[in-house]
Structure formats: structure tokens, C-alpha cells
Amino acid sequence: MPYDFPRAKSFLFVSASKIENFESAFQSGAEAIIFDLEDSVTPEQKPTGRKNILSFSKANPNKKFFIRINDAQSDFFTEDMAFLNQMGLANLYGIMLPKAEQKAHIEAVLNAVGEIPLILLIESAWGVQNINLTASMPCVKQLAFGAFDMILDLGLQDGEGKDFALNYVRVQIALASRIYNLLPPINRVFPNTRDISKLKANMESAYSMGFGGSLTFYPNQIATINAIFAQGEEKIEWAKEILRLAKIHKGEPFNFEGNVIDLSMVKKAQGILGRKY
């Protein structure tokens, strides 16, 4: 089955146990919806969450979404795989796999449901250690940063050390995404829903590291996230225009928007498009 994997800037988590929020999520401005069966759903509510997604998919065959399943080592993984086989994959852009630490975790998903695009959540020390093994697997399309679990796993405390450690992880995710020609990675959920200036600072930092979008649980963050990561789309349009003009000028330097465009700038444009397509 061919999958229409989206190039999204904003990824909105919606708890699978809250079916009353499903429809509104698609009107929120988020460019991708992730129905969550993991952290936002209690163990007792997971069967209800699966039923809610199944019901929604049957009623809305043209609406596409991701599902964050439970990790491959959890007690709920087998039930999630059975559910996916029952539902079918027609509504899915792909699956988000949390705590992606080993190739075996990815193989467990693919063996259960067949080939399907995957977003890997990197949210533990082992996830970082083995990122080159997991990111290189053929069904992996994108990496995402799971900061909350990473903070717990590393025992981080507030301060400069915590910021340094989290930025180190983001750099590793960005590097692996580039090396294995994945889509630009996805930034963490930012927990402060009121301080827009801190939200902007976090997203700008991620954007400057090569991230292409962000996770969120909060609809009031979506417009800010979309605006910041739209800068990447502007760069793509710039690069397309540079390469179009370079063909016309047959390798000779030319002026564009007040700047001299020489071979180095043409190579920069080629690099931008090489990473984005």
C-alpha cells in the first residue's frame, strides 16, 4: 500500500481516550494529528482508546492520521498490533514508535503489521546510543525528540547542564536525520502553555538546528509552531528560484534580490533541496 507521508510542521497529540476531541483536532490548524495510545491513556482506558480510533476511522475513511502506539517492550504492544490489523492501515500516514531503542523494536512492528512508515521517538539514553542502527532502517521516515522521558531517563535537573544535555540529544537527532536522508526531525512537546516567548525561543532553537516541526498537546501553540517552521518552506522556495535562475545564466554569477549568486550559493540551494526532497 502506498502511503502519503505528510511534510508537516505541527503534530498535535490527541488522547485516544477522548473521542470528543477527535473532530476538533482536525480543525485546529495542526498539519498532522497523532492519536495517542501511550502516555495520555491510562492502562484501564487503552481498550476504549483503540475502540475510539476504530470507530472514527470507519466513520471518516478520508481522514488520515498517525497513531502513537505503546512501545515494543510494554504490556500493551501485542494488543496494539492486533488492533492495527483489525482496523487496517488505510487511514494511517504512519505509526509513531515510542522508546525506539533497538532494531528489534522496529522489526517487531513491521513483522506484526507489514511495511508502514515510522516516526521514531528518541527519548532515552539507549535511543541516542543506537540511533544510527534504528534511523537507518528502511521504513523509518522521521525522528522525533521525546524530551520528558529523556529527562527522566538521564536524571536531569533544572540548570545549564540540563539544557546542554537536551541540546546534545537534539544535535544527534538532527545529524542522524541528515545522514540517513530522513525528513527534518520533529521537536519536543513544549510544556508551558502560557509563555509564548519561551515557546518561540524553544522552537527557534530547534529550527536553527535543522528541525522541521514540533510535537504539541496544546492547540493554542499550533499557530506559533507553524509560523516558526514555515521559515523552512521559504528557504525551499528561495532554493528553487536560485536553481531556476542558475540554469538560465548557465553557471555565470547573477544578481538576485540584491545579492550576487555565485557557485557557492548555487551549491547551498542544491543542499537545501537535497535535504528537503
Residues at the binding site for Mg(2+) are: 123, 149
SS3 of 27-78: the string is CCCCCEEEEECCCCCCHHHHHHHHHHHHHHHHHCCCCCEEEECCCCCCCCHH
Which residues contribute to the annotated binding site? 68, 123, 149
State how beta strands 259-261 and 65-68 pair. unpaired
CA triple 230-234-239, angle to 5 deg: 145
Q: Which residue type, as a one-letter code, is found at position 67?
A: I
Helices (H) and strands (E) in the chain — how many of each? 11, 10
Q: Render 81-148 in DSSP notation, one character per residue.
A: HHHHHHH-STTEEEEEESS--SHHHHHHHHHHH-S--EEEEE-SHHHHHTHHHHHTSTTEEEEEE-HH
Instruction: Supply φ then ψ for residue 202, to 5 degrees.
Output: -65, -40
How does strand 259-261 pair with strand 254-256?
antiparallel
Q: Half-sphere exposure (CA, 13 Å, Cβ side) for 258?
A: 0
> Alpha-carbon distance 155 to 194, whole Å?
26
Annotation: binding site for substrate: 68, 123
Residue showing cell 487496517: 88
